[in-house]
Structure 1
Amino acid sequence: MDTRELLLTRSSQANERLHAMIPGGAHTYAKGDDQYPEGLAPVISHGHGAHVWDVDGNRYLEYGSGLRSVSLGHAHPRVIEAVRRELDRGSNFVRPSIMEVEAAERFLATVPTAEMVKFAKNGSDATTAAVRLARAVTGRPRVAVCGDHPFFSVDDWFIGTTPMSAGIPAAITDLTVAFPYGDLAATEALLTRYRGEIACLILEPATYAEPPVGYLAGLRELAHRHGCLLVFDEMITGLRWSEAGAQGLYGVAPDLSTFGKALGNGFAVSALAGRREVMERGGLRHPGDRVFLLSTTHGAETHSLAAAMAVLDTYVEEGITAQLHALGERLAAGVRDAAAVHGVADHLVVRGRASNLVFATLDEKGEPSQEYRTLFLRELLAGGVLAPSFVVSSALSEDDIDRTVDVVARACAVYRRALDAADPTPWVLGRPVKPVFRRLA
């Protein structure tokens, strides 16, 4: 299909309505229409399994579903049935429900490196609670974030460090410092520079490359030697790396960790977990000052906890993590072969663990290019593939992967023509897609 044949009339109208009422036209910046080629930002009607349909009736194979949260596919029967059982039983009460007991037991059985857990609705609340708890436990003001990782929270302590820092006082931003991933010497130098000031090191334990051998264990030893806590943000690695997250795969237990995304398969649930002596500081059974850890009206509404339990059971009983890796390996191999055949292997680059693949689009000089990303996304959309990343769900079949590779191959042929012309403009057809974190709209 030629990209000009993809008509999104109703989606374009819906996007205008969105911008008229919702700042940014979406409730998550990564879902904004500026992340897609001009005029080709579909507005979704519904989804099932690995497919979604837009309001114009176009059907797509979807990757990165729900910003990596829908790892079992849309409307997964075990999850939906678990939720349905709870809907007629009430969703929120004036006291904890028995569902909170059962969900906590199920989570801690699946993530045995944690001793206590508290549920919330989004990742930002969980990571900010971890930072607050670390500050309370250590009595220190500063937070050290891994500067190589793109996102930790919408809250001031992190967003103030990004180009979108408007509205955040420098006094808050100054309390957050950065360390590089994989470099223990540089991290120790930072801890020495701010000796006695850093409450915690927070990082994603793994991203698009495996952690260097011994790095995570070394980081834990380093943190503890300098009197601070180690916090793993497992929003992405949780379940996708192993049922117990990256900490389970690599055998390194942090002091605190946060989970979300895949935990609910699209339902709103996140978790803060960690060592009992640390977590209990946010409870009622300790002699110290109370920490206002997490207190959310909807944090434990029952149908999301039911969804989380169904997800955990499905992952463990059906070997979902292994399925994700197998599908991702098939996709990565196919994309790399297609790129090589069309002479763009140095320009369309697949990166990451098989269960969490992304792609980079590089120009004639090998530099990251939003123009070539736009070209590539246009060609994928024209072929019925909605893929801001290549993050798989277990709902994809091998045939779905093979079809995706065929679409990628056609896109690679166009990519090669643009490289030969040293100008992707004729294939961009409008403004290029934009990075999420930028100072000006």
Structure 2
Amino acid sequence: MKNFNLSLQAQEKAKERIPGMTQLLSKRPDMFSQGVWPAYYSKASGSQVWDLDGNQYTDMSISAIGACVLGYNDPDVDGAVIKAIQNGVASSLNCYEEIQLAELLCEIHPWADMVRYARTGGEAMAVAVRIARASTGRDKIAFCGYHGWHDWYLAANLKTDNALEGHLIPGLEPAGVPSQLSGTALPFGYNKPEELEKILAQNKGEIAAVVMEPIRNIHPEDGFLNKVKELAKEAGAVFVFDEISAGFRICPGGSHLILGCEPDMAVFSKAIGNGYPMSAIIGKKSVMEAAQKTFISSTNWTERVGPAAALATIQKFIKNNVHEHLVDLGTRIQTGWQNAAEKTGLKVHCGGIPPLSHFNFEEEDPLSLKALHIQQMRDEGFLASNIYYSMFAHTFEEVDKYLEATTRSFETIAEAMEKGDVHERMEGRKSGTGFKRIT
């Protein structure tokens, strides 16, 4: 019988000292199953994670929210970081790695001329929006998809509670966002260019940027991305791709490279640093030079670890055609989920691009079923939810073992549904959804 005492005690301590328990909504234990999900780790290497109680798991879940595209504790990336640390993380001068990384990013994306850096995806998106506003002299942003926690984005939910419904996370509260920003962030639906046309018509000459993820859960319909680009150009708005999630997963670089649509700016984070804080805003010179019209500056954006990690990560990604392995893994996972569902008679919907796969139970009380699945998989030695983000460190042998365990879990769930004792089998709470306070 595994012991989880230290892991669960740590969560109680965290609730007392850290509002919301964690720094990231997607890592809160109630997003999985509070009382079951271990929440804290002592070490991680490759695809393996150890919790505070010493339990070892194969991580087939969120892979550090997609940040560790190569795997945990990657020797090549960590080696580059160690060298950077040994030579000094920061000084009164700038690190040369930031120039090398800028040249590499522009080489991969020939349409781009210039690069600015931050250390997280959300702040990089805020930088991109600031540059777009400075470039155009306008205030309003039309957007599609999820783009972080900053005021410019959450302003969409001022005076309403459902503007961000359908943009990944519903129910995000805009408390603390100035009410004067109401009406400055205007959402349109993916594959619905007519909604963007309406926004542009109603806000002529006022839209600074059109911001969107080029791909996430579904593929763009023929002509959709270039239609958005055309509409943005006609409106005099900067066209921005948020590649924070999709970038460096289906090709070496932004997903837009194989989707056939070039933006004015693109934002990267997550995968480019393999877990180290790093983000980049790349773009055309005509737009990027507007960064000098405004004040965008931070001491910690000049440290050396982030660029060193990004250079090593991207170089390894290209050398090993990592994207091919990520796609193959995700494709096998989605097929395995579907097979397990068919075998057990559960109604399950699978989706997402292969490296960012997910499934949902289409049964009564799906969040309790998800929690029971997490519990079953934990007891089988897997960190697993209804999401799978592939890593280069994952092997097909691990995938096969994971899918065998998934089938057993689905069998248990089907049996529990038939007997009507799902809740009696659950050790923790049902999974949360969206943005909720921990009480």
Q: Which consecutive residues of structure 1, in runs of 5 or more, have no partner in the other structure?
A: 284-289
Separation in 2, partners of 1:90, 1:157: 35
Q: Does 1:168 align with 2:163?
A: no
Separation in 2, partners of 1:172, 1:439: 24
Contact 1:113 1:248 in 2 (8 A): no
Q: Does 1:18 align with 2:14?
A: yes
Q: Does 1:32 align with 2:34?
A: no
Worse overlay, 318-327 or 131-140? 131-140
Quote the residue 2:164 is aligned against. Answer: none
Separation in 2, partners of 1:109, 1:31: 34
Task: After TM superposition, list the pairs within 5 Å mapping 1:4-403 onto structure 2.
Answer: 5-42=1-38, 43-62=40-59, 63-146=61-144, 149=145, 151-160=146-155, 161=157, 162-283=171-292, 290-292=293-295, 294-344=296-346, 346=347, 348-364=348-364, 369-388=366-385, 389-403=387-401
Contact 1:113 1:247 in 2 (8 A): no
Q: How big is each residue's C-alpha offset from its partner over 1:346-369, in whole Å with a ceiling of 9 and x where there is no partner?
A: 2x32211111111212224xxx83
- With structure 1 as the length reference, what TM-score do the two structures score? 0.92
Tell me the amino acid that sits aligned with residue 294 of structure 2: V
Distance verdict in 2 for CA 1:38–1:439, change over 3 Å? closer
Quote the residue 1:286 is aligned against. Answer: none
Aligned-residue identity in percent: 30
Q: How big is each residue's C-alpha offset from its partner over 1:337-393, in whole Å with a ceiling of 9 and x where there is no partner?
A: 11111111x2x32211111111212224xxx83222212211221212112411110
Count of aligned positions: 422
Worse overlay, 80-89 or 268-277? 80-89
1:279 CA drift (Å):
0.3
Contact 1:163 1:439 in 2 (8 A): no
- With structure 2 as the length reference, what TM-score do the two structures score? 0.92
SS in 1 for 2:301: coil
Worse overlay, 211-220 or 21-30? 21-30
Separation in 1, partners of 2:22, 2:193: 39
Separation in 1, partners of 2:337, 2:3: 26
Q: Which consecutive residues of structure 2, in runs of 5 or more, have no partner in the other structure?
A: 158-170
SS in 1 for 2:23: coil
Contact 1:37 1:428 in 2 (8 A): no
Separation in 2, partners of 1:75, 1:17: 27
Contact 1:110 1:312 in 2 (8 A): no
Q: How big is each residue's C-alpha offset from its partner over 1:135-177, in whole Å with a ceiling of 9 and x where there is no partner?
A: 122222111121xx2x312211223425322222322133111
Distance verdict in 2 for CA 1:256–1:181, change over 3 Å? same
Task: Please provide the CA RMSD for this pair.
Answer: 1.7
1:439 CA drift (Å):
6.7
Worse overlay, 131-140 or 405-414? 131-140
Separation in 1, partners of 2:68, 2:172: 29
Contact 2:337 2:406 in 1 (8 A): yes
Contact 1:145 1:202 in 2 (8 A): yes
Separation in 1, partners of 2:328, 2:250: 13
Separation in 1, partners of 2:2, 2:370: 18
1:440 CA drift (Å):
7.6
Contact 1:326 1:354 in 2 (8 A): yes
Q: How big is each residue's C-alpha offset from its partner over 1:262-296, in whole Å with a ceiling of 9 and x where there is no partner?
A: 0000000001111111001113xxxxxx122x312
